[in-house]
Structure 1
């Protein structure tokens, strides 16, 4: 895995030792994702949240393209923490070792213009996740495997969807654009 654009372009992102626990987003999917995001946001000076951060690749791409700060949330933060240190962005990063839904439920203010979630493909709490994220003003991107049956109030917030390999990217506007 490598960074696909910006200051850190082509730098290697360290993968997990246990590949069963993390399913990193493919470089091509990440490149597609960031090309779409650039239609909605200028990365200079943005803040982001990388939920189910795994290796931290999404957040590292954000920093590479100019983001000023970010929050990384996952139950297992070892690989993301190592990568954040290797890239020298510790002072701009907040790493939270916690279940994502528990984090969102206890979070009154999440100051992030961009929120990304890449839960495991066998994840079953999508609507709860999306409803929790919808409390914040942000462009929200959800990476998932199959086409999901979203609740009606959530469907109204979809800006665009793309399929890239096995991944499906769904973009939501929660009072942001």
Structure 2
């Protein structure tokens, strides 16, 4: 069973596709969002959840105070699950579901649309495909935006394109999480 960990929808269960997705465990989501809240990256943020699956990461962000969330997945069962979860949690209008490939969606990004981007691709996604997705994400983030990649602990670290710079990484069992920030935030005058 997958459920929202905290916030306005805390404890509510989510529909998860029977196959084809790997939902982030509650333990990892709790640790991930604890780190993101420490970075002040969730409250009021515009959030993009790529490879959304059930939408658990993006919906967790909405539950914890994100202003607007976009869930992107290309699998019909995942898109259907996301839509059902958005309706069940009463988040229509704050959370949009986009049925598209990540490649096509990020190719259209142009401008500082998002403050937080969450990427939880299939574990078998190659390094080149992840790098291409991150190139598009880099164009679609605002100064100070935080980008998170979740992969197998056996996978190689993401290659962060400019202006994204690595912040941190954490390992939770077989899951590795990397954090980066849009570098313009570090160049702002004090």
When normalised by structure 2's length, the TM-score is: 0.85
Deviation of 1:99 (Å): 0.5
SS in 2 for 1:73: strand
Distance 2:29 2:42 in 1: 15
Normalized per residue, the structure richer in strand is 2
Matching residue of 1:140: 147
Write out per-residue CA displacement over residues 13-68 of structure 1, whole angstroms, 9 at most, x where no aligned residue. Answer: 1211x32x111100101001001101111533211001000001111111111112
The within-5 A match list for 1:91-102 is 91-102=93-104
Instruction: Name the CA distance, whole Å, in 2 between partners of 1:150 and 1:42.
Output: 20
Preserved contact between residue 41 and residue 146 of structure 2 (Cα < 8 Å) = no
Runs of 4+ in 1 over 6 A off after TM superposition: none
- 1:134 alignment partner, SS class: helix
Q: Which runs of 5+ in 1 are unaligned?
A: none
* Corresponding residue number in structure 2 for 1:72: 71
Q: Provide the rounded CA distance (Å) in 1 between the counterparts of 2:108 and 2:123.
A: 24
Q: Separation in 1 of the partners of 2:130 and 2:59?
A: 24
Aligned residues: 175
Q: C-alpha distance in 2, partners of 1:100/1:49?
A: 11
The answer for the alignment partner of 2:16 in structure 1 is: 15
Do the aligned partners of 2:117 and 2:147 also contact (CA within 8 Å) in 1?
A: yes
Let me know the Cα RMSD of the aligned residues. 2.0
SS at match of 1:157: strand
Quick one: distance in 1 between partners of 2:176 and 2:84?
27
SS at structure 2 position matched to 1:113: strand
How high is the TM-score relative to the length of structure 1? 0.90
Unaligned runs of 5+ in 2: 186-190
